[in-house]
Amino acid sequence: MVKLETAGYAAAYAQYRTIHSFFPLIGAVLLDEQDGVVYADKDEAPTQFYVEHAFGFAQIFGSANAEFETELQRYLLVRKSFAVVKVRLYTPHFPDFLRTAKMACLRAERQRYALGSSGIVEGMDLRGCKNVNSRFVDVDQSNVWQVESRFGVVGRFWRTPRDFIARAHAVVALVDEEPVAICYAAAVADGRAEIDVLTLPAYRQLGLGRLVVTRFNKQSRARGLTPLWDCFTNNAGSVALCQTAGFVSVGEPYAFFTINK
């Protein structure tokens, strides 16, 4: 298992963008736009890869190599050499070590969603909410630290506040001029934007989450981006919100492993 230098990421990304189970958070590492590490089965002409985002999301892809997967098993389950608190491992690729009974307790299911044709509704605004003194704003230099103090997301995936402003395309709902809901791109790669959305507890059940997602979707489409949603199948609130905002499921639920340090 060889750790690649960033100069080797481009070849890995060229392979990654051809696979069906493409996740922008993994793509963003391979584009060197977000932090992470990339391992391959060999230095020259590698065929299998393991990508681990600095936040923990990870994925194995490429042609199966038994020796590489054995080393990866030791890395993840024996030595636990990863720097993150926990690895959040996407599939659908299943090395044999993920199929054991021991791994069953680490396994959950997630579902991918993509924006359907009904996902952008013209004319939607915050006037339909119970809070009449409400409006949308984009995140920029004037409000990024206020947003960070409320939600703590500016550095969660992106390297700097400047990156967050330029690439997350964040939309915030203000109530009485205070940020109460946000929708932003956790990562953008290959024209696809991975949505993350948060609403402060005191402002839930008011429709703010749906509206801020709708605004984000509309602006993303205008930028030529395809919004994507991904969540655990048992997260009823997230599933309901994404479906209400016009997302439709893509394929069947897939296995997802959480491996703690």
Rounded CA-CA distance 69/62 in Å is 11
- Indicate if 114-252 has the same CATH topology as 2-99: yes
Rounded CA-CA distance 184/196 in Å is 6
Query: For the domain bounded by 114-252, which CATH number is listed?
Result: 3.40.630.30
SS (H, E, C) 97-146: HHCCHHHHHHEEEEEEEEECCCCCCCCCCHHHCCCCCEEEEECCCCCHHH
Assign a CATH topology to domain 2-99.
Answer: Aminopeptidase (3.40.630)
Q: Contact 67/102 with Cβ under 8 angstroms?
A: no
pLDDT of residue 78: 96
Sign of CA dihedral 201, 206, 211, 213: positive
pLDDT of residue 187: 98
Task: Tokens for 203, please give them.
Answer: 């402002």
CA terminus-to-terminus distance, the chain:
20
Helix and strand element counts for the chain (H, E) = 7, 12
Q: Contact 115/249 with Cβ under 8 angstroms?
A: no
- Given 3-state DSSP classes, what are the helix, strand and coil percentages for the chain, each rounded to the nearest 5? 35, 30, 35
* SS3 (DSSP) at 230: strand
pLDDT of residue 206: 87
Rounded CA-CA distance 53/106 in Å is 19
Q: Which letter does DSSP use for residue 78 in this model?
A: I
The structural domains of the chain, with segments of one domain joined by +, span 2-99, 114-252
Rounded CA-CA distance 66/47 in Å is 12
pLDDT, one tens digit for every residue, the chain (261 residues): 999 999 999 999 999 999 999 999 999 999 999 999 999 999 999 999 999 999 999 999 999 999 999 999 999 999 999 999 999 999 989 899 999 999 999 999 999 999 887 655 544 454 555 545 678 899 999 999 999 999 999 999 999 999 999 999 999 999 988 999 999 999 999 999 999 999 999 999 888 999 899 999 999 999 999 999 999 999 999 999 999 999 999 999 999 999 999
- Phi/psi of residue 222, nearest 5 degrees: -65, -25
